[in-house]
Chain A
Amino acid sequence: MLTEGGEAPTDGEARTALGQFALRFRVSGVAAFLLLLGVAFTLLRPQFIAPGNLSAIISNAAILAIVAAAQAVVLITRNLDVSVGSIMGFSAYLTADFAARHPHVGPALVLMPLTIGGALGALNGVLVAYGRVSPLIATLGTMSVYRGLTYVYARGQEITASRLPAWMNALPEVRIAGVRLLVVIAIIVVCLLAAFLRFYPLGRRMYAVGSNVSASAFFGLRTQRVVLFAYILGAVLCGLAGFLYAVRVGTVTVVLASGWELTSLAAAVIGGVSVAGGSGNVIGAALGAVVLATIDNGLVLLGIPEFWRMFIQGAAIVLAATADMIIAGQVRNALRARRRIARAAP
């Protein structure tokens, strides 16, 4: 959407060695970056590698991982959703308010944020796909509208943990085989989504639309429907994430998840999802969320002053984007080399 992927320099076989390795082991830039980060923090503060700390990082990253994956789905179709935070806030507030008034409704309540999210996403999708509005503008607008509606609905109130039903308050402590339910849900959601995008025809069409809209349309893809579907799917996930956020933090306010539009974009971009559409995957985006949580955690462990943290986080995003571009370039070269060898062979 905003730029083309740069072509990395292509000289020498030594350079493609990295590409061969990346290709063989499916190492993406973000995994390598995460590993580097982990090694650095462990060397500086061995406490980092303690199982308790690693699980703290993962559970801090879980909700953002879902939102980053949702953002990735939209990005893959060469679009953008900056209303993710507002969708989370709107669906979480309405759901929590409903739960506070009707405490007897059990876990079936989860359907509520999903539905609300889906409806809000459908509006975004219709505006972008059928209204042909630039995705940035459309979702900037709905971001304000959804957030404003949340304020109007809440009338200066917030929903506190003591008003939420007991099962919602107990949820964050539930563990399955020693792993937090929250983390289990995030992993399942991200894996299902990855499988869907890779193996399901509709999923593959999203990549096709993102790579080249006009070609996709030429080959008979209903591109508008695909884009609409991507927005709905992403927003349903945001609804889920909003619900999990409410359950986790306990106090549901009107500002819930404001600012997450940029955080989720950052996670997706660190995870190698191209804002130009058609490339990247949701697992990368989820790992991007883990990278952000790791940096947060590591800098607290190291006792880095607040002011430096902002600088380091910003620099990390640029570095991660660079790392991803280099690895992607190397992989391309490796593929080219492989093709050359295949052609040379009789």
Chain B
Amino acid sequence: MKLHTTLFAGAGIALALGLGDSAALAKDSGFKIMMTPKWTGFPYFEAAAKGGREAAAELGDQFVYAGADHADVSLQVETLQNFLAQKPDAIELAAIDLNAVAPVLKQALKRGITVTTFDADAAQDARDMFVNQLSYKQAAKTMLDCALLDSPRGGEIAFVAASPTAPNHTAHIKYMKEYIKDDPKYQVFKVVDTQYANDDDAKSYDVAINLMQAHPDLKVIISSSAVSAPAGARAISASGHVGKVFSTGFALPSAIKGYLKDGSEKCFALWDPEELGYLATYATHLKLAGKLDLKPGTTFEAGKAGEYTVGDGGEIVYGKALMFTKDNVDKFNF
């Protein structure tokens, strides 16, 4: 009898411990979150990592940032494979090739790892959520608004993208063309050319020079590449086209400050990469802690970054476009 009681008590304790264990599984901090950018050493991604590290520190998570030093998809997959072997709770990445990373990400999902993409998406069925800086349409509109500031009466414009295989760049160009066709506000523009510069500054510079030669009436060069837009500005001022041709698009404020100040350029745009990294990590944490349901329409609070709504297909749009002009560019420190 006594023995029995002891046994029961023991079983009870064991049960309680077991329950305690499973309760501890749904913990709400101390997660291991691993982030890889397209490539390390680019200030934009370093800023995103800084934001991610900040969110992780705030929430009591472990944060690891690693990756190859150049954008090579097979190296990115290798990095992800190495992440997987380290049994993290979540992986965050900016995909180089949306399809090529899919097999390894699907494996991660199968093992119960939360997968978040930011900046550049992977195939939709290979990740849980995509923290998008700006929706493609919003990005397109922002760049065109900038172009209107440059050349209020419109005129010929040309696009410079990284490569025909960069999905966000091609989408931006597609929507800009749509706006120019349909929206009377932007119908003053005429698209004359699209060139590719591979995110390479010298190539971007040469492409800008060649574009100005090929189209003598060119007014604005628009680029979604944060490398090409400043290089275009440089090419314009060095070749004596200041005031006649403008460069705009996405660029880090530190890279284009000088051109805005001396009046050779009027407007560039971007978002805050640090807050983007913060949001991605925050949302990932909430998902891990079971506090975020990725159904369309769910709203959530992401710490100091504010409130967001989950969209279709697990897409969370950060959406805070910044337009830099000579009046406000000093306020930004990235």
Residues of B within 8 A of A248 (CB): 202, 205, 234, 238
Q: How many angstroms between the C-alpha atoms of A148 and B206 in the bound complex?
A: 26
Which of these, B214, B227, B230, B237, contacts A300 with CB under 8 Å? Answer: B214
In the complex, A47 Cα to B254 Cα: how many Å? Answer: 37
Q: Does any Cβ of A come within 8 Å of B120's Cβ?
A: no
Q: Is there an interface contact between B202 and A56, defined as CB atoms closer than 8 Å?
A: no
Across-interface contacts of B239 in A (CB, < 8 A): 56
Q: Is the CB of B238 within 8 A of A172?
A: yes
Cross-chain contact B231 with A301 (CB below 8 angstroms): no
Interface residue? A216 (CB, 8 A): no
User: In the complex, are the beta carbons of A173 and B238 less than 8 A apart?
Assistant: yes
In chain A, positions 96-154 with a C-beta closer than 8 Å to chain B are 147-148, 151, 154
Q: A207: CB under 8 A from chain B?
A: no
Q: Is A303 an interface residue (CB 8 A)?
A: yes
List residues of chain A with CB within 8 A of the CB of B42.
156, 158, 253
Contact with A along B210-238 (1 / 0, CB 8 A): 11111000000000000100110010011
Residues of B close to A158: CB separation below 8 A: 42-43, 255
Residue of B with least CB distance to A309: B196
**Other-chain contact of B209, A47, A60, A147 (Cβ < 8 Å):** A60
Question: Which of A8-16, A227-235, A254-262 lies at the interface with chain B?
Answer: A254-262
Give the contact-size bracket for chain A: 35 or more
Contacting residue for B230 out of A161, A245, A303, CB 8 A:
A161
Closest to A63 in B: B202
Main secondary structure on B side of the interface with A: helix
Complex CA–CA separation, A156 to B67 (angstroms) = 12
User: Known contacts A160-B254, A300-B195, A306-B164: does B69 contact A148 (CB below 8 Å)?
Assistant: yes
B255 and A151 contact, CB distance less than 8 A: no
Residue of A nearest to B329 (CB): A162
Closest chain B CB from A260 CB (angstroms): 9
> How would residues 51 to 73 of chain B score, 1 for a CB under 8 Å from any chain A CB and 0 otherwise?
00000000000000000011000
Q: Given the complex of chains A and B, what is the CA–CA distance between A310 and B40 in angstroms?
A: 27
Question: Which of B213, B254, B258 has a CB less than 8 Å from the CB of A53?
Answer: B213
Taken together as a complex, chains A and B put the C-alpha atoms of A63 and B238 apart, in Å, by 15
Interface centre among A157, A162, A257 (most CB of B within 10 A): A162
Query: Is the pair A251, B230 in contact by a Cβ cutoff of 8 Å?
Result: yes
User: Which residues of A in the span 238-259 have a Cβ within 8 Å of any Cβ on B?
Assistant: 245, 248-251, 253-259
Q: Report the count of interface residues on B (CB-CB < 8 A).
A: 40
Task: Say whether, besides A56-B209, A253-B201, A256-B201, A151 and B230 are in contact (CB < 8 Å).
Answer: no
A160 and B240 within 8 A (CB): no
Q: Is B257 an interface residue (CB 8 A)?
A: yes
Known: A151-B41, A249-B205. A162 touches B210 (CB 8 A): no
Are A297 and B210 in contact, with the CB atoms below 8 A? Answer: yes
Q: Is the CB of A56 within 8 A of B210?
A: yes
CB distance from B209 to the nearest CB of A (A): 5
Interface string of B251-266 (1 = CB under 8 A from A): 0101101110100000
Contact residues in B for A199 (Cβ distance below 8 Å): none
Q: For residue A83, give the distance in angstroms from its CB to the closest CB of chain B.
A: 16
The reply to whether B201 and A301 contact each other, CB–CB distance below 8 Å, is no
> In the assembled complex, which residues on chain A have CB atoms less than 8 Å from the CB atom of B41?
151, 154, 156, 254-255
Query: Does any Cβ of A come within 8 Å of B35's Cβ?
Result: no
Q: A59-B209, A60-B210, A160-B254 are in contact. List 7 more A-B contacts (CB 8 A).
A: A47-B214, A63-B202, A160-B255, A162-B254, A250-B230, A251-B227, A251-B255
For this complex, 10 residue pairs linking A to B, each with C-beta atoms less than 8 Å apart, are: A53-B213, A59-B209, A151-B41, A160-B230, A173-B237, A256-B201, A297-B210, A300-B213, A301-B214, A303-B214
Task: Give residues in B with beta carbon < 8 Å to A.
Answer: 40-43, 45-46, 69-70, 163-164, 193, 195-196, 200-202, 205-207, 209-214, 227, 230-231, 234, 237-240, 252, 254-255, 257-259, 261
